[in-house]
Amino acid sequence: MTDVRDESSGSRELVEELAGRLCNWDRWDRHDGVGALNLITPAKRLEGSAAVRSGEAFSLGFELRPDLPQPANSGRQNPLHLMTEVPGDFPDGWVGPVSADDWLSMAVHAATHWDALSHFFHRGQMYGGISAAEVTATHGAKRNDIVPVARRLVTRGVLADVARHRGLDVLPPAHGIGADELREVLDAQGVEVRPGDALLVRTGLLGATKRAGAWTEFAQCGPNLPRNPGIAVDALPLLHELGVCAIACDNWAVEQTTGGPPDFPVHELALVYMGMILGENFELDALADACAAAGQWDFLFAGQPLPLRGGVGGPVNPMAVL
Amino acid sequence: MTDVRDESSGSRELVEELAGRLCNWDRWDRHDGVGALNLITPAKRLEGSAAVRSGEAFSLGFELRPDLPQPANSGRQNPLHLMTEVPGDFPDGWVGPVSADDWLSMAVHAATHWDALSHFFHRGQMYGGISAAEVTATHGAKRNDIVPVARRLVTRGVLADVARHRGLDVLPPAHGIGADELREVLDAQGVEVRPGDALLVRTGLLGATKRAGAWTEFAQCGPNLPRNPGIAVDALPLLHELGVCAIACDNWAVEQTTGGPPDFPVHELALVYMGMILGENFELDALADACAAAGQWDFLFAGQPLPLRGGVGGPVNPMAVL
Amino acid sequence: MTDVRDESSGSRELVEELAGRLCNWDRWDRHDGVGALNLITPAKRLEGSAAVRSGEAFSLGFELRPDLPQPANSGRQNPLHLMTEVPGDFPDGWVGPVSADDWLSMAVHAATHWDALSHFFHRGQMYGGISAAEVTATHGAKRNDIVPVARRLVTRGVLADVARHRGLDVLPPAHGIGADELREVLDAQGVEVRPGDALLVRTGLLGATKRAGAWTEFAQCGPNLPRNPGIAVDALPLLHELGVCAIACDNWAVEQTTGGPPDFPVHELALVYMGMILGENFELDALADACAAAGQWDFLFAGQPLPLRGGVGGPVNPMAVL
Amino acid sequence: MTDVRDESSGSRELVEELAGRLCNWDRWDRHDGVGALNLITPAKRLEGSAAVRSGEAFSLGFELRPDLPQPANSGRQNPLHLMTEVPGDFPDGWVGPVSADDWLSMAVHAATHWDALSHFFHRGQMYGGISAAEVTATHGAKRNDIVPVARRLVTRGVLADVARHRGLDVLPPAHGIGADELREVLDAQGVEVRPGDALLVRTGLLGATKRAGAWTEFAQCGPNLPRNPGIAVDALPLLHELGVCAIACDNWAVEQTTGGPPDFPVHELALVYMGMILGENFELDALADACAAAGQWDFLFAGQPLPLRGGVGGPVNPMAVL
């Protein structure tokens, strides 16, 4: 497969149609705030830990630093780290304890994070049919915040390395990964995706951007979206069928973005209707190399974010144990 | 054992003596920034995943919220969560995507966190004999920051439930948990601590404080330390011998604090000499109940913090999978 | 006059009636964002500078500090000051320049500030009949922000020292200063208020609170308002008639608050209809002593806030030159 | 005068020599934290208010906004404005008061500000011979913070419009304004500088940068300084002789910067020895136009910053009343 699909696969008609077909609101308690993470059961976590073979671990979180990965004026401030105490503060001759303390300020969605089910809305509602009015500047997300996700997200993980499968460093700009391509990659890798799995999909974009230092292409910093490879709308029925509970990519928005004004059909369908959370800015290159070397594409995935009350997202340092 | 040890076990002479005896600087590469986490090998993680029996998971992170757990004027700001976009911002008749975005600001050591090896100093040095001058307001920790910890910390975990063993809701104020008591608890629980384990020690303090709402007793908010039960200095040789790589408690400072002006002998010895990181404000009650019910005191422990560049600590939502 | 008026003077009927009577929307360009500050002309500033007699200056801004004046959990974070560089960061033997740099984070309305005309709304509108929808989490105040206030606010100021006139350290809790009392104080002081003046009204509350250290009584930190002395609704027609362009007090909300759930009739009338900005947490004691000693109650008033784009308020260090 | 002086006039020998000659430590109480602002007396403020002729006012503060004036990665975060409450948060049918509240976070030295006497050090000392160790990450500036400046800075102001005098939009890159040129401009303008005056010197740089949108040239954002026109070292003896108490420019650092690694001789001499504060990022173009039109170069100057406890600088919206 060598074609590039750089047109959005998400016509408004298709979104409407899929919104009905993929809707999980009545599949579980629509008020529990976890959506498809309901597929993670204790037995599922046993399956996840059984996937550990070498014990090698890969941390998938982008280092929290003030200059990356968001370009200047993206509207999402990179993490700012300040010191509130340093050892030099203690005078000469001081005999008591000497310590250092620090402070962190960041846009939640700037670095590696999960979007909570309150991050996106459609027709005035978020997941479960809950009113968008439950998310306010005063209280953040009163419903569907990231906290229940933080309490649950350890499961079996699977990596689909689309870039490697195509023999590319990075997928072409704006390329959409659809159901056929995803299935082809999983088949070629010989790995089965099962209900409750977290699926990591590698486009190669974050690593390639890092090597090139070309961050203005990576994230939105103007009126138009970047042209990022990512998940296409027509992959969603497959993810639904497979029972994927959470999907993450090494790009800015999980989904394919094709330039032009903001349009996020995968966000709308996955978050609002499927209750499937999205993980962004994941670093997947080292994990992918190890998976390829071992011929092992599943692992234990500890992807629990910080339990941020009211958070429409949550910072996370996801860990894959091979 | 019913006695209360509410005098500090950490005389300055003892600290000096143990500093030499427990020093790990030459045991591993003293410049790798991970200290005793060197004991976590891939094989160790296999051992950790083999400890999973039911697959039940417990998130040990205190919810990030603006009012707790630090009392007012503690000098450590609780997490502040602000919204940078809410659905109500979109005008009536808007047809494009509707989303919400947010922002987090916090003292790193306010909520559940790990102290990095750059958090404490002794005689002008931190772990590895590295100069305290490597931690500055301009750059944070240029050495021994939390990043390498973030890349590694998944291992087998063990819980020692000291409060439950003594039949108490919470250990007495200022009580120091020494080697004998710790060994007694582990023996009674029938669990073995092995090299590379993360050890969680339950005092009952965080849960009891929550139920009572008495947070001014929990953390330091004036010139004197609170009187918290915690680890005594004389437990450190045992932890060294057992090969514990990280220790965490359901209290403010891991170690016993006995009132009076700041004095942190366990911080000095564990962080500076042993290279053993300290986890604070861990929520252990639910995990402890499940351990007691199952008679199982070991588990897979995914305790990876955020990879905060320059961080002398790192926020974390630790996960124990039973 | 010795009676205490601790019932709100602001029935909803009265608010409705005054909203019509005091409305300035058609008096000036309703889109210029300055409202009654239109009364400040160059000639008015000449009048202000002519009021300077001794040249003594009084800074009325509460010191920006992390613990005051807002009590814990007020929802308005006091100013947090952090260092981003300190001289101790520079190594021994350093020969280049040595400097220090810093950082500030604060709730705009925590310390001494002006409320912008976008701080309050009534029937879905703010001053000028502009829709409340112009204030969003994404952009702050797109209309009526504090910037035009920052460009203009230097004028003649007048102090009405109500507490001193009544021979009190501080006015009684919840006392409302009405038109009669205000006129009586001004008459007794022998000072005339003229169109374009900024009026400072002293209740004694901030100073008394400081001396007593009783900050939980000063500002709202629960579901109910504090019981603060302040401006009563029936003072507004007088202020309108006199042409006061801005009013400030040494209390938390300018207006009288009588306990119970939030109710801010003076905010609604002054900000939304009169276009008269409100200044809160002003320190007036030293100025008042000097005014009394000199028998001079008018002065040059330099009350320009920071020009914060999108700000629904602006931090300020107001200066009165006697 | 058409020559360009784009070599630094501040040899280390000259700095040493002037440090002794211009030192004001023993001229006033060296512990009062105000340095040359001691020259502002009540009589001086009378002189300032007497300078008001038309009453036109000019606000000299750069708008607080997230994208300017610091370029990305300058290390000084531009002001970030967030909302903590917006009117859209209030549900349909709400009958109580509706308000908006906000929040500000910024590098103090990012926008228009004064450097406090604790901003720079020489030979381990700041103004008054006070040890640099008095400025720590824990407490900020325990001595010489911006608070006493905030309590005092209203005086007579004088503008020296160097760019206009030379018939230029903006002075040449790296040009140093020395004593001769400054005297020539003041003479040509026919204005006398007198003890206690604040002197504003216009280079044209901020306005020209704004028009060109070329901010990366304006402030330091890499290892080398920008090449900014500004005050040369050899202007300092003249400022000392004239009794200038505070000097501000429409550039990034007041002083001439000639590229190359950081070197701030004017900061060292003015702040550490003369006790003369420096004002940066002042907007002077509109004021300059009015001064030229009126042929009036002096005015009342209300330049009081926020009283930031521990601040080594203070944000300010300076106001000139012509």
- Model pTM above 0.95: yes
Report pLDDT digits (tens) over B72-93.
Answer: 878 899 999 999 999 999 998 9
Helix or strand or coil: residue B110?
A: coil
Task: Give residue B1's pLDDT.
Answer: 46
d(CA A3, CA D231): 61
pLDDT at B2 over 70: no
Q: Provide the pLDDT confidence category of residue C2 given band limits of 50, 70 and 90.
A: low
Supply the pLDDT for residue A2.
53
Subunits that touch chain A (at least 3 Cβ pairs < 8 angstroms)?
B, C, D
Please, which pLDDT band fits residue D72 given cuts at 50, 70 and 90?
A: confident
Tokens 């077909």 belong to residue:
A21
Cβ contact C28:C276 at 8 Å: no
Q: Given an 8 Å threshold on Cβ–Cβ distance, is B82 in contact with D86? A: no
**Cα–Cα distance, D277 to D263 (Å, whole number):** 18
ipTM over 0.95: yes
Cβ-nearest to A103 among C82, C89, C137: C82
pLDDT over 80 at A1, yes or no: no
Render pLDDT for B55-76 as a digit per residue (tens, 0 to 9): 999 999 999 999 999 988 788 9
Percent of chain B with pLDDT over 70: 99
Q: How many CB atoms lie within 10 A of CB D31?
A: 12
D273-295 pLDDT, tens per residue? 999 999 999 999 999 999 999 99
**Contacts with D137 from chain A: Cβ below 8 Å:** 83-86, 88-89
> Is there a contact between A317 and B306 if contact means CB atoms under 8 Å apart?
yes
pLDDT of D75 strictly over 60? yes
List the one residue out of B115, B169, B202, B164 whose CA is nearest residue B292: B164
Q: What is the mean pLDDT of chain B?
A: 96
Q: Name A211's Cβ contacts closer than 8 Å, sequence gap at least 6.
A: none
State the Cα–Cα distance between residues B316 and B186, nearest whole angstrom: 26
Using the Cβ of A85 and the Cβ atoms of chain D, whether some distance falls under 8 Å is answered with: yes
Residue C151: closest CA among D70, D174, A115, D63: D63
State the DSSP code for D269: I
Mutate to test the interface with B, among C89, C138, C216 (most CBs of B within 10 A): C138
- Contact of B118 with chain A, judged by CB distance below 8 Å, is answered with yes
Does A99 contact chain B (CB < 8 Å)?
yes
Q: Is the Cβ–Cβ distance between C280 and C249 less than 8 Å?
A: yes
Say how many C-beta atoms besides its own lie within 10 A of residue D102's C-beta.
32
B93 compared with D301, residue with greater pLDDT: D301
Tens digit of each residue's pLDDT (9 = 90 or more) over B95-149: 899 999 999 999 999 999 999 999 999 999 999 999 999 999 999 999 999 999 9
Is the separation of the CB atoms in C236 and C274 below 8 Å?
A: yes
Count CB-CB contacts under 10 A for residue C134: 18
pLDDT digits (tens, 9 = 90+) for C39-74: 999 999 999 999 999 999 999 999 999 999 998 878
Name the H helices within chain C.
Answer: 12-21, 42-50, 147-150, 162-165, 179-189, 205-212, 236-242, 265-267, 285-294
Q: Do D137 and A84 touch (CB under 8 A)?
A: yes
In the block, which residue shows the tokens 């403010």? B252
Sequence-distant (≥ 6) Cβ neighbours of residue C203 within 8 angstroms: C162, C163, C170, C171, C175, C177, C228, C229, C230, C249, C250, C251
Residue B89 contacts C, CB cutoff 8 Å: yes
B182: closest CA among B170, B166, B169?
A: B166
Are C84 and A86 in contact (CB < 8 Å)?
no
Q: Does residue D306 surpass a pLDDT of 50?
A: yes
> Under a CB-based contact definition with an 8 Å cutoff, are residues C62 and C281 in contact?
yes
State the SS3 of chain A. Answer: CCCCCCCCCCCHHHHHHHHHHCCCCCCCCCCCCCHHHHHCCHHHHHHHHHCCCCCCEEECECCECCCCCCCCCCCCCCCEEEEEECHHHCCCCCCCCEECEEEEEEECCCCCEEECCCCEEECCEEHHHEEHHHEECCCEECCCCCHHHHCCCEEEEEEEEHHHHCCCCCCCCCCEECHHHHHHHHHHHCCCCCCCCEEEEECCHHHHHHHHCCHHHCCCCCCCCCCCCEECHHHHHHHHHHCCCEEEECCCCCECCCCCCCCCHHHHHHHHHHCCEEEECECCHHHHHHHHHHCCCEEEEECCCCCECCCCEEECCCEEEC
Structure confidence by residue, pLDDT tens digits, C160-205: 999 999 999 999 999 999 999 999 999 999 999 999 999 999 999 9
Residue A7 has pLDDT above 90, yes or no: no
> C168-182, C276-290, D64-78, D131-145: which range is least confident on average?
D64-78
Within 10 angstroms of residue D166's Cβ, the number of other Cβ atoms is 18
Tell me if C121 sits within 8 A of C271, measured CB to CB.
no
Of A139, A138, A117, A123, the C-alpha closest to A278 is A117
Tell me, yes or no, if C96 comes closer than 8 A to chain D by beta carbon: yes
The 10s digit of each residue's pLDDT in D190-216 is 999 999 999 999 999 999 999 999 898
Contact residues on chain C for D62, CB-CB shorter than 8 A: 307
> Residue D202 is inside which H or E element, if any?
strand D198-202
The verdict on D105 touching A (C-beta cutoff 8 Å) is yes
**CA–CA gap between residue C122 and residue C274 (Å, rounded):** 12
Residues 120-179 of chain B with CB under 8 A from chain D are 137
Pairwise CB contact (< 8 Å): D87 & C135 = yes
Could D82 and B83 be called an inter-chain contact, meaning their C-beta atoms sit closer than 8 Å? yes
Q: Is A192 on the interface with D (CB under 8 A)?
A: no
Estimate to the nearest angstrom the gap between the alpha carbon of A296 and the chain centroid.
21
Q: What is the mean pLDDT of residues C251-268?
A: 96
CA distance linking residue A132 with residue A149, whole number of Å: 19
Ranges C3-7, C103-107, C150-154, D57-61: which has the least confidence: C3-7
Whether the per-residue pLDDT at C1 is higher than 50: the answer is no
Q: Is pLDDT at C4 greater than 60 in this prediction?
A: yes
A212 shares contact with chain B (CB less than 8 Å): no
Q: Which of C187, C199, C186 is nearest to C158 (CA)?
A: C199
CA distance A99 to A92: 14
Mean pLDDT of A286-298: 98
Residue in this structure with the two tokens 């490597």, named with its chain if needed: B134
In chain B, the residue whose alpha carbon lies closest to the alpha carbon of A112 is B306
Token digits for D8?
């630094």
Residue of chain A minimizing CA distance to D132? A89
- Establish if A87 touches chain D: CB-CB under 8 angstroms: no
Q: Which residue has the tokens 């090896």?
A: B117
Check residue B287 and give its pLDDT. 98
Contacts of D217 (CB under 8 A, 6+ apart): D209, D226, D227
Query: Which chains are within 8 Å of C by 3+ CB pairs?
Result: A, B, D
| Mean pLDDT, all residues of chain C | 96
Residue A217 in contact with partner chain B when CB distance is under 8 A: no
Q: Give the pLDDT band (50/70/90) at residue A6.
A: confident
C91 touches chain A (CB under 8 A): no
Burial (0-12, 13-18, 19+ Cβ within 10 Å), A173: middle
- The mean predicted confidence, pLDDT, of chain A is 96
- Span of A40-44, A113-117, C3-7, C298-302 with lowest mean pLDDT: C3-7
From the list B67, B83, B137, the residue facing C86 with the nearest CB is: B137
- Between B42-50 and A42-50, two packed helices, what is the crossing angle to 10 degrees? 150
Task: Pick from B98, B144, B278 the residue to mutate for testing the A interface (most A CBs within 10 Å).
Answer: B98
